[in-house]
Structure 1
Amino acid sequence: MNDPILRLTEKISNLTASQRKVADYIIKNPMEVAFLTVDQLAGLVGTSTTTIMRLTFNLNYSGYSEFQKELQELLRNQAAPHTRLEANLKDVPESDLWIRCVDRQISNINKTKEMISNDTLEKVLELITSSNRIYCTSAKSGLPVGQYLTFGLNRLLGNCELIIADQSDWVDLLLNLNSNDLVIATSFPRYARRIVDFVSQAKESGVKVITITDGYSSPLIKYSDIVLPCNSGSLAFHNSPIASMVVVDYLISSIAINYPDKTKVRLDKMNDVLTKINYHYNNN
């Protein structure tokens, strides 16, 4: 059986803006879409049935019906984990804000896990470990993600810089970028224009771009070589970075564990320096 969600993610960069909007909705709501008519889906997304049909043709399906049939089959094969999760959360009191908040983040993490494949993560790791310089750029709610990733990559590789897109004067930096460099951009709605400006200009220099964002309707998608879609919903007004932080933590951990030839010497030297300057508090 072909995986229609995987097909969507693989071909997302070749779709039109309106088709990406449909694809983004399908990826985030596969169980709902599996039982919607094409007219219902068009109404929910705010597009035409023609756009949806063209999307399915681009995915090499004969039409929406064949696409939906494969989506239903995919969900049937994945039904058990979803059923267990729903059962675990079923009896949580609506009045308990703390529990509801935690459950929301668990849901965000699980949905993010479903949207990102191992193959995609392997490609991300290869780009990170083979790049000359790495620039993490973010702003507002995405800033904790960029800061954490910059710290982790710098500790391991020593070649990462944080660019706070809406505060930094990054124009001079653009002059030195080349195809051996990598930009990792994190942005959630409402998307910061300065991040889009920085990424678009960096792309013109041949830089590879990895984007951490909430979905495939993000304006950064058309400049991205690899997309890591992360659910960012919260119970309140804000975008939550929690699922993205889990993805970033995986990247840092995986590089440390799987690339010891690139990281061990640097980590040992760092530990020696911190020990010599008595950096850490000692209870003894």
Structure 2
Amino acid sequence: MTSNEEIKDTILKNYEDLPSNQKRIAECILENFNRVPFLSVRELSLISQSSVASVVRFSKRIGFDGYSEFREKIAGSLQKQINNTEFFALFDGKAMSNDTLKSVAATDIKNINDTLSSVNRNTFNKAVTAILRANHVYTAGLGISYLLSEILSYQLTQVGVKSSNFRRNSLLFLEQALFLGKNDLIIVFSFPPYSKETINLAKFCKDRKVRVIAVTDKQSAPASFFAGYVLEVKSKNMLYTNSFAAISVLINAIVTEIAVRNKAEVKQFYEEVETITQE
């Protein structure tokens, strides 16, 4: 059975070559992926502001006989995902409106639940493998994403991965990216309102054959179309900013997975650090 991640990957890989009307369809499907099994071809055409014929042509362009087969494949992949998903228990919603602490915690728990469901484990493992194989790992982001990218870069160094964070200084992101080689890798953090500088950085690196991992809130986020691996993390917040609870879980999971795979190297690294600090 085709997985939802494989379907999304197929859409993303074909996105750049699609005509503008089919790009709208692709974006609409990625943003409403769980709804597609319940949408007729006409309903999807209305939502995506395209024609029925364009939806059918799009389905064929990405490898299906038509929209019916495309919709059935998504329905089957979602059913499989639902059967295999594990969730944390949410707080009881009663009387929560008068308890800000519980309300915020419930929102963040939902973000973590949704992230557990949206992050494909195969993609996660491949992303970690790419990090381990890179000569040097760079991280980048702006606003709250800058802080998150800095945390990831720091934690990567703590498990023996050569890592640096792009900084906002006299050099623009694209100028700093000129120093990246084809065997390097960059992890971009991109959340609403999606900094144009971060998106341009991801595109620039992809064009230069530098591997890109995007940590963002949805498969149709701008940076996703320039990334080899997309780690979808939910960041909904009660305020106008992005919550970073689920993002922190993902960062911790990446670093932990690296430590598990490289126990000997990590042990040696900490032994050397301890020796240095005792001198």
- TM-score past 0.5 threshold: yes
1:223 aligns with 2:229: no
Distance 1:49 1:129, change over 3 A: same
Shift of 1:254: 0.7
TM-score (norm 2): 0.83
Amino acid at match of 2:13: S
Q: 1:38 aligns with which of 35, 38, 41?
A: 41
- Contact between 1:136 and 1:183, CA under 8 Å: does it hold in 2? yes
Secondary structure, aligned partner of 1:186: strand
How large is the Cα RMSD of the aligned pairs? 2.9
CA deviations 1:57-97 (Å, max 9, x no partner) are: 24433333333334344444555688987x95664435133
Equivalent position SS for 1:139 = coil
2:190 matches 1:187: yes
Preserved contact between residue 90 and residue 110 of structure 2 (Cα < 8 Å): no
Q: Is the 8 A contact 1:137 1:165 kept in 2?
A: no
State the percentage of identical aligned residues.
22
Verify the 8 A CA contact 2:59 2:66 in the aligned structure 1: yes
Q: Which amino acid aligns with 1:9?
A: D
Name the amino acid aligned to 1:25.
E
Q: How many angstroms does 1:151 deviate by?
A: 0.6
Q: Which of the numbers 154, 161, 165 marks the counterpart of 2:157?
A: 154
Deviates more, 1:2-11 or 1:130-139: 2-11
Task: Name 1:281's counterpart in structure 2.
Answer: none
- Where structure 1 has 5 or more consecutive residues not aligned to the other structure, the ranges are 278-284
AA in 2 matched with 1:236: L
| TM-score in terms of structure 1 length | 0.82
Q: Is the 8 A contact 1:166 1:194 kept in 2?
A: no
> After superposition, what is the alpha-carbon deviation per residue over 1:139-194, rounded to whole angstroms, capped at 9, x for unaligned?
11212320211011112225211113587544553343211111111011211121
Moved more, 228-237 or 33-42: 33-42
Q: Which residue of 1 aligns with 2:148?
A: 145
User: How many aligned positions are there?
Assistant: 272
Superposition deviation, residue 52 in structure 1: 3.3
Counterparts of residues 1-284 of structure 1 (less than 5 Å): 1-15=1-15, 16=18, 17-27=23-33, 30=34, 32-79=35-82, 91-95=93-97, 96-164=99-167, 168-274=171-277, 276=278
Q: Distance in 2 between matches of 1:175 and 1:83?
A: 42
CA distance in 2, matches of 1:98, 1:49: 47
Q: Which moved more, 1:261-270 or 1:208-217?
A: 261-270
CA distance in 2, matches of 1:197, 1:214: 17
Give 1:135 deviation, angstroms. Answer: 1.0
